């Protein structure tokens, strides 16, 4: 049964149940029980849960591969089995069902023909997508010869061929190298900014946390919790403060100021560590800048032109700034790395400067964000920052 359409809802399901039956028609496994789901248009939505929680079943119901045994579900206002609505959906399956005996270009041409794209559109989009997913030089290679990660990249390219309004990604970063993971996450963020609705499942919780606005946590086929990621993850009892290195005296001074409001032993100070992801990305960017050869996937070229918003140009500094502020700093970091390939050969000093500046931006950003959200600890932070500004080494 189809759930009534709602203008601002991409997927809407009420009391969805799915029971798998045995040969004799007896109930065998209740994969989903009375699950309600509402995914707003333009949101990046994560489906989480341990193995067997019902994530894949829910995705298959949304795709029309399985039919619900109870409840109502609508996708873009239509039944999941409606063929017409599928022209607005892009899907990256967990096991990429691509034809191994076709080349990457032939694959995109085939799916493009099914979507009714003109040959010129297919040619342009294929070139841009292959460049975007880092398979520009592998366009004439058979998909069957690709590594697992390259196949995933190829699967992503096919999912984006129709510039879908609803993108369903089943384990999008599984099997990808850190560069690929970062690129996929940035792509998701960019598409999210364009108002595309994205539904993804992943066991890599950090990835989900990085990109998703909202999540639905399933366990045993039932809904455990749902809501905004920020709201669900916020620890309202603690405050984290980051700033450039200061001497011990200043640090002690800061602790003493805070000790007026919280017990002294609960205040900890330590140096933040660089994430392994950013360290890895830096190393790959360095190799790329040195034009070291690889038969595998290369760094992507950023988001394909046709997938970007009309008034959002990836290369424009303003856009980068906005994007970084809203979703994270790695977009800017990757862009800077991409630029370094074409413009100048970065030195180790340049890279360090880049990381440092990113760090500073992130510090300012997090401080800013916190002050907007919570007034009580914010007053303490502002006071602390004012005092520290005079004590910088």
Question: Which residues sit at the interface with another protein, rule CB under 8 A?
Answer: 20, 60, 63-67, 83-84, 86-87, 89, 91, 93, 95-99, 101-102, 106, 110-111, 113-116, 158
Q: How many CA atoms lie within 13 A of 300 on its CB side?
A: 30
Task: Please state whether beta strands 27-40 and 197-201 pair in parallel, antiparallel, or not at all (unpaired).
Answer: unpaired
Q: Which is nearer to another protein, 39 or 388 (CB)?
A: 39
User: What are the backbone dihedrals phi and psi of residue 313, each rounded to the nearest 5 degrees, phi first?
Assistant: -100, 125
Q: Which is nearer to another protein, 19 or 329 (CB)?
A: 19
Q: Which is nearer to another protein, 147 or 383 (CB)?
A: 147
Q: How far is the CB of 319 from another protein (least distance, A)?
A: 31
User: What are the backbone dihedrals phi and psi of residue 352, each rounded to the nearest 5 degrees, phi first?
Assistant: -65, -45
- Write the DSSP assignment of 74-129 as a string of letters: EETTB-TT-SGGGGGEEEE-SS----TTSBHHHHHHHHHHHTT--HHHHHHHHHHH
Q: How far is the CB of 50 from another protein (least distance, A)?
A: 20
Q: How many CA atoms lie within 13 A of 154 on its CB side?
A: 33
Cα–Cα separations (whole angstroms), residue 26 to 1, 20, 29, 70? 22, 9, 10, 16
Q: Which is nearer to another protein, 86 or 308 (CB)?
A: 86
Q: How far is the CB of 107 from another protein (least distance, A)?
A: 10
- Write the DSSP assignment of 201-222 as a string of letters: E-S-HHHHHHH-SEEEEEETTE
Q: How far is the CB of 104 from another protein (least distance, A)?
A: 14
- By C-alpha distance, which of 154, 43, 137 is closest to 100? 154
Q: Which is nearer to another protein, 95 or 353 (CB)?
A: 95
Task: Please state whether beta strands 70-75 and 89-92 pair in parallel, antiparallel, or not at all (unpaired).
Answer: unpaired
Q: Which is nearer to another protein, 61 or 254 (CB)?
A: 61
Q: How far is the CB of 98 from another protein (least distance, A)?
A: 7
- By C-alpha distance, which of 46, 29, 151 is closest to 94? 151
| Cβ within 8 Å of residue 327, ≥6 positions away | 189, 192, 193, 211
- The CA distance from 329 to 321, in Å, is 9
Q: Which is nearer to another protein, 101 or 313 (CB)?
A: 101
- The CA distance from 151 to 176, in Å, is 9
Q: How far is the CB of 43 from another protein (least distance, A)?
A: 20
Q: How far is the CB of 88 from another protein (least distance, A)?
A: 9
Q: Which is nearer to another protein, 82 or 250 (CB)?
A: 82
Q: Sheet with 44-48: list strands edge to edge.
A: 89-92, 166-170, 197-201, 44-48, 214-219, 222-228
Q: Which is nearer to another protein, 95 or 339 (CB)?
A: 95
- The CA distance from 60 to 70, in Å, is 15
154 secondary structure, DSSP code:
H
Q: How far is the CB of 89 from another protein (least distance, A)?
A: 6
SS3 329: coil
Q: Which is nearer to another protein, 80 or 134 (CB)?
A: 80
Maximum alpha-carbon separation in the chain: 78
Q: How far is the CB of 313 from another protein (least distance, A)?
A: 30
Q: How far is the CB of 82 from another protein (least distance, A)?
A: 9
């Amino acid at each position: 049964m189809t759930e009534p359409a709602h203008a601002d809802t991409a997927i809407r399901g009420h009391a969805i149940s799915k029971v798998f039956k045995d040969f004799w028609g007896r109930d065998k496994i209740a994969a989903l029980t009375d699950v309600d789901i509402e995914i707003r248009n333009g949101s990046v939505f994560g489906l989480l849960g341990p193995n067997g929680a019902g994530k894949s079943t829910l995705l298959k119901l949304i795709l029309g591969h399985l039919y619900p045994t109870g409840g109502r579900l609508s996708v873009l206002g239509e039944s999941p089995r409606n063929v017409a609505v599928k022209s607005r959906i892009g899907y990256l399956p967990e096991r990429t069902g691509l034809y191994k005996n076709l080349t990457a270009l032939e694959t995109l041409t085939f799916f493009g023909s099914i979507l009714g794209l003109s040959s010129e559109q297919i040619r342009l989009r294929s070139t841009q997508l292959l460049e975007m997913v880092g398979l520009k030089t592998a366009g004439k290679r058979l998909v069957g010869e690709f590594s697992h990660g390259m196949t995933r990249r190829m699967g992503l390219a096919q999912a984006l061929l129709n510039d879908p309004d609803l993108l369903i990604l089943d384990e999008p970063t599984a099997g990808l190298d850190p560069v690929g993971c970062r690129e996929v996450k940035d792509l998701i963020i960019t598409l999210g900014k364009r108002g595309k609705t994205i539904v993804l499942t992943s066991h890599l919780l950090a990835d989900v946390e990085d990109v998703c606005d909202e999540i639905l946590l399933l366990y045993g086929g039932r809904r455990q919790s749902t809501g905004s990621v920020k709201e669900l993850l916020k620890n309202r009892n603690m405050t984290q403060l980051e700033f450039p290195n200061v001497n011990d005296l200043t640090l002690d001074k800061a602790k003493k100021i805070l000790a007026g409001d919280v017990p002294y032993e609960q205040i900890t100070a330590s140096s933040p560590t660089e994430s392994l992801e950013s360290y890895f990305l830096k190393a790959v960017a360095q190799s790329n800048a040195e034009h070291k050869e690889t038969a595998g996937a290369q760094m992507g070229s950023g988001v394909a032109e046709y997938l970007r918003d009309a008034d959002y140009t990836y290369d424009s500094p303003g856009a980068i700034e906005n994007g970084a502020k809203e979703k994270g700093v790695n977009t800017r970091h990757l862009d800077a790395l991409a630029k370094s390939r074409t413009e100048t050969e970065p030195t180790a000093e340049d890279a360090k400067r880049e990381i440092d500046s990113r760090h500073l931006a992130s510090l300012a950003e997090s401080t800013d964000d916190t002050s907007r959200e919570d007034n009580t600890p914010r007053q303490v932070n502002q006071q602390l920052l004012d005092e520290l500004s005079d004590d910088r080494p």
